[in-house]
Structure 1
Amino acid sequence: MRLVFWAGFWAFLTDQASKYIVVHMMNLQEILQIDVLPPLLQFHMAWNRGINFGLFANNADAARWILIALAIAISGFVLYWVRKDPPGKWGLICAGMLVGGALGNVVDRLLYGAVADFLNMSCCGIDNPYAFNFADVWIFAGALGLVFFGGEKREA
């Protein structure tokens, strides 16, 4: 479980630190857009009150608390699962990334009422209108990793 903790810790820390630096120190919340490596990467401020792509953002206050509860429940389930039936090293790391990312977005919802999204990537003539954050990356990578590595058994 140590691997789960440390992977989750670093996922959470990188998410929260990046949000603090970009949103507050670089003042993205007021200037709204910073070109980093145009057109590939720009910081674009978006407060997401729903889930991916702004889905379920209609009743923002109810959605906020439902999504907080859901993220905590899923994190608890993942922790229970990897404790009860531990996967291999990579499965434990992926579980930690998923939990750390989910808790990073929970903190945003508690502090701001919405998730701070700021990464926007476009390529090859396709203009992507959506923004995401590092927590989203950790959640996606962790979930995908659990699909591939969650069934491997830990060596005794």
Structure 2
Amino acid sequence: FFDLVLAWNIGISFGWLQNDSPLAQYGLMAVKAVAVVALAIWMARSETKLATTALGLIIGGAIGNGIDRLAYGAVVDFALFHIEIGGTVYNWYIFNMADVAIVAGVAGLLYDSFFGAHAAKAP
């Protein structure tokens, strides 16, 4: 159900926008840097521990993937979950631990938005 594989992701999430030109890689790094700064500002203004933690996870994952992109020109993905049903193998996307942190952070932000203290006080 689980394999360690090596995959070089030169695009963004789920392999979208695949382009290995240096200009494209620098463009992705610039977008990521702007996103990290915006998320850091949001985190500094956050009023709940859950939102602050979630934003920290997203920022950490983005920085981790950014380090890969800077060092290798692509993000290193290595975890693959799969299942076989009736002779057919179904694979999930190959991912890394930075991706796990980003997804956990987004889930935390969604939970805080819908069920957090401010959501409970909304009319």
TM-score (norm 2): 0.81
1:65 is aligned to 2:26: yes
- In angstroms, what is the RMSD of aligned CA positions? 1.8
- SS of equivalent residue, structure 1 residue 81: helix
Indicate the residue corresponding to 1:53 in structure 2.
Answer: 14
Higher fraction of strand: 2
What is the distance in 1 between the residues matched to 2:107 and 2:17?
A: 23
Return 5+ residue gaps in structure 2 as ranges. 119-123
Per-residue deviation, 1:65: 1.2
Indicate the residue corresponding to 1:81 in structure 2.
Answer: 42
What is the distance in 1 between the residues matched to 2:108 and 2:80?
A: 23
Indicate the residue corresponding to 1:92 in structure 2.
Answer: 52
Return 5+ residue gaps in structure 1 as ranges. 1-39
Per-residue deviation, 1:58: 2.8
Indicate the residue corresponding to 2:107 in structure 1.
Answer: 144
Indicate the residue corresponding to 2:75 in structure 1.
Answer: 115
Structure 1 residues 60 and 144 mapped into 2: Cα distance closer, same or farther (>3 Å)?
farther
1:65 alignment partner AA:
Y
1:73 alignment partner AA:
V
Indicate the residue corresponding to 1:37 in structure 2.
Answer: none
What is the distance in 2 between the residues matched to 1:65 and 1:152?
A: 39
Identity, % of aligned positions: 36
